Amino acid sequence: MDGLHAASSRGGTLIETVMATVRQRIAARQLTPGAKLPSVRAFAKTMQVSTSTVVEAYERLAAEGVIRSRPGSGFFVCGPLAPLSLAEVGPRLDREIDPLWISRQSLEAGGDILKPGCGWLPADWMPQQALRRALRGLAHAKDMVLADYGTPLGLAPLRQLLARRMGEHGIEASPEQIVLTESGTQAIDLLCRLLIEPGDTVLVDDPCYFNFHALLRAHRAKIVGVPYTPTGPDLDLFAQALAEHRPRLYITNSALHNPTGATLSPVTAHRLLKLADQSDLTIVEDDIFADFETEPAPRLAAFDGLSRVVHIGSFSKTLSASVRCGFIAAPSDWIERLTDLKISTTFGGGRLSAELVFSLLKDGSYRKHVETLRQRLSAAMVDTMQQLEPIGVRPWIEPRAGMFLWCSLPDGLDAADVARRALADGVVLAPGNAFSLSRTASRFLRFNVAQSKDTRMLEVIAKAMRG
Ligand SMILES: Cc1ncc(COP(=O)(O)O)c(C=O)c1O
């Protein structure tokens, strides 16, 4: 066997070997930017391969942008790419703690960074095998599914299935009342476009999911926070905020609230809806953690019958954050305008994602997966509480389920300082004030129990707490 064929049989195909040879010549500056490559026939002879192998290798290098073809003249070396800027890689230690701090630090973190502060499950907690199987199934889908825009409301059988699932939580929604979106975030964004004008007031919980602040700011809303208790918003202060600010909208999570893990009690839900009725307030109930629940909590949308409550969700937390698929269940007479807004801002929507989610829901793999998730999360919750206890980090409440544990630090410690020091040691934490409009949560950290299993985390936090 000659050298080239031996090399290709050790690893890679003949085409890859030809590509590697061209790359080596460029790196060694035997071929400089603008230089013409040997003709296909000549190079095939030099490399002792067929001309079709060289044609394919040249085509692939051209697709990568390493070389380019000039019809009639041959192939030429392209200019070098700008090098990756190392300054943009790694944690941003100098950034102030703001609503986007945790998202940026978590999304940009490299593989060796621990992320007990991030808001999603580790990739290996997701149903990898079922996802791969569903992706293989999609490869056989009809041409239209692979190439065409989705319908305005989104995949009808998925909307039907979602309507049935909501029914299990007491929410009566017909499939025609459900609009598929690309994510929970997009669902909220569309609703803000529909329901508020710049300058309108929106109520949020204090603390709440930090991206509510960021998104509402992007819509130029005036944001007012209402303190959150273990059973829902503080109703006296809620009533006061209604009278004082005449808000247009309230955004909340009824079950497994982010960041506290608390759940709305039936009494609070009932009183809240009465207050909303009296003040003509619309409520967006973001139910993205619904499937982590073992015992379903009361839903505002169920009591209200989707009249002034809009219900949203997505599959980012339970299935995949990479497959973007969410939904809105809204009063029937909003659907036309929501659909127009969806078309004007995204046109078709994530058809492939919807197909993928539908196939996983339909074949039962999703249901099995979330059952396992609930058990794993419940064990991880106990583990994390036990780990944190000896260093004086205490849970505000013991959540009924889910991934979040809202914990207070010992007196005198500031969570932002602790988070900055931990970040320098490769651990992303979630300091309380990123979630608090009034910035009164400086003693709190939110832990994601699924991301808190590495013992290095505890060492780094204990060191960061010592200062
Ligand atoms: C309460 C809440 N709503 C919405 C989202 C956004 O989810 P999605 O990935 O579907 O945009 C998150 C993500 O962390 C969240 O915690």
Closest Cα to atom 4 of ligand 1: 184
Torsion of Cα atoms, 347 then 350 then 354 then 355, to 10°: 100
Q: Are residues 179 and 291 in the same domain?
A: yes
For residue 2, the model assigns a pLDDT of: 47
Evaluate whether residue 256 is within a structural domain.
yes
Is 201 within a domain? yes
Task: Give domain status of residue 31, yes or no.
Answer: yes
User: How far, in Å, from the CA of 65 to the mean position of ligand 1?
Assistant: 36
Kindly state whether residue 426 falls inside one of the protein's structural domains: yes
CA angle 35, 39, 41 (to 5 degrees): 160
Quick check: is 86 in a domain?
no
- Decide: 327 in ligand 1 pocket, CB within 6 A: no
Identify whether residues 189 and 54 lie together within a single domain: no
**Contacts for 185 with CB less than 8 Å, ≥ 6 apart:** 211, 215, 326
264 and 410 both lie in a single domain: no
> Is 113 in the same domain as 136?
no
Among candidate residues 96, 92, 64, 88, the one with its CA nearest the CA of residue 78: 64
Distance 120 CA to ligand 1 centre (A): 9
CA distances from residue 183 to 3, 170, 178, 248, 297 in whole angstroms, order as listed: 52, 23, 14, 23, 23
Q: What is the pLDDT of residue 113?
A: 87
Q: Point out the domain boundary residue: 330, 364, 398.
A: 364
Mean pLDDT of 88-106: 70
Max Cα-Cα span within the chain? 86
Does residue 334 sit in the same domain as residue 442? no
For residues 144 and 284, membership in a common domain is answered with yes
Residues 392 and 295 in one domain: no
Give the CA count within 13 Å in the CB-facing half-sphere of 80: 10
Structurally, the chain folds into a number of domains equal to 3
Local confidence band at 9 (pLDDT 50, 70, 90 cut-offs): very low
Asked, for residue 223, whether it belongs to a domain, the answer is yes
pLDDT tens-digit profile of 27-51?
998 999 999 999 999 999 999 999 9
Contact status, residue 49 vs residue 14, Cβ threshold 8 Å: yes
Tens of pLDDT, residue by residue over 344-368, are: 999 877 899 999 999 999 999 999 9
Give the integer Cα–Cα distance in Å for 425 and 384: 20
| Residue 171 predicted with pLDDT over 70 | yes
Domain limits at 431? 91-126+367-466
The verdict on 248 and 313 lying in the same domain is yes
| Confidence category of residue 107, pLDDT binned at 50, 70, 90 | confident
Q: Ligand 1 in contact with 366 (CB < 6 A)?
A: no
Q: In which residue are the tokens 């492939």 written?
A: 352
Element (H, E) at 282: strand 282-286
What is the sign of the dihedral through the CA atoms of 33, 39, 40 and 42? Answer: negative
- Asked, for residue 84, whether it belongs to a domain, the answer is no
Please tell me if the CB atom of residue 214 comes closer than 6 angstroms to any atom of ligand 1: no
Cβ(318) – ligand 1 distance below 6 Å: no
Q: What is the CATH number of the domain that holds 445?
A: 3.90.1150.10
The average confidence (pLDDT) of the chain is: 92
Q: Confirm whether 83 is domain-assigned.
A: no
CB of 448 within 6 A of ligand 1: the answer is no
Question: What is the structure's pLDDT at 309?
Answer: 97
185 CB under 6 A from ligand 1? yes
Q: How far is the CA of 112 from the centre of ligand 1 (A)?
A: 24
Query: Can you give the pLDDT at residue 85?
Result: 56
Helix (H, G, I), strand (E, B) or coil at 219: coil
What residue type is 392 in one-letter code?
Answer: G
What is the distance between the alpha carbons of residues 200 and 216, in angstroms, rounded to a whole number? Answer: 10
Q: Is the CA virtual torsion 221, 269, 178, 355 positive or negative?
A: positive
138 close to 356: Cβ distance less than 8 angstroms: yes
Q: How far is the CA of 184 from the centre of ligand 1 (A)?
A: 5
Residue 395: beta bridge partners? 407
List, for residues 242-276, the tens digit of each pLDDT value: 999 999 999 999 999 999 999 999 999 999 999 99
- CATH number of the CATH domain containing 50: 1.10.10.10
Hey, what amino acid is at 8?
Answer: S
For the chain, what percent of residues have pLDDT higher than 70? 94
Which residues make Cβ contacts (< 8 Å) with residue 372, sequence separation at least 6? Answer: none
Q: How confident is the model at residue 297 (pLDDT cuts 50, 70, 90)?
A: confident
Say how far apart CA 323 and CA 309 lie, in whole Å.
Answer: 27
CATH number at residue 256: 3.40.640.10
The dihedral formed by the CA atoms of 171, 214, 193 and 275, expressed in degrees to the nearest 10: 50
Could you say which of 13, 47, 77 is where a domain stops?
77
Residue 84 pLDDT > 60, yes or no? no
Its pTM stands at: 0.87
The answer to whether the CB of 260 is under 6 A from ligand 1 is no
* Residue nearest atom 13 of ligand 1, based on CA coordinates: 119
CA–CA gap between residue 431 and residue 338 (Å, rounded): 35
Token duo for residue 315 = 């599959």
Ligand 1 atom at minimum distance from 120 CA: 14
How far, in Å, from the CA of 323 to the mean position of ligand 1?
13
CA–centroid distance, 69 to ligand 1, in Å, is: 45
Which DSSP state fits 329? E
State the distance from the centre of ligand 1 to the C-alpha of 326, rounded, in angstroms: 10
Report how far ligand 1's centroid is from the alpha carbon of 266 (Å). 24
Same domain, 299 and 409: no
**Whether residue 243 is found in the same domain as residue 154:** yes
Residue 288 beta carbon below 6 angstroms from any ligand 1 atom: yes
Same domain, 406 and 454: yes
Ligand 1 pocket check for 320: Cβ under 6 Å: no
Tokens encoding 251? 């955004």
For the Cβ of 286 lying below 6 angstroms from any atom of ligand 1, the answer is yes
Residues 171 and 226 occupy one common structural domain: yes
Ligand 1 mean position to 288 CA, how many Å? 6
Mutate to test the pocket of ligand 1, among 118, 317, 328 (most ligand atoms within 8 A of CB): 317
Q: Is the pLDDT of residue 93 over 80?
A: no
Apex 273 CA angle, 267 and 275, nearest 5: 105
Task: State in Å: Cα 100 to ligand 1 middle.
Answer: 13
Backbone angles phi, psi at 462, to 5 degrees: -60, -40
Residue of the nearest CA to atom 8 in ligand 1?
184
The ligand 1 atom nearest the CA atom of 119? 14
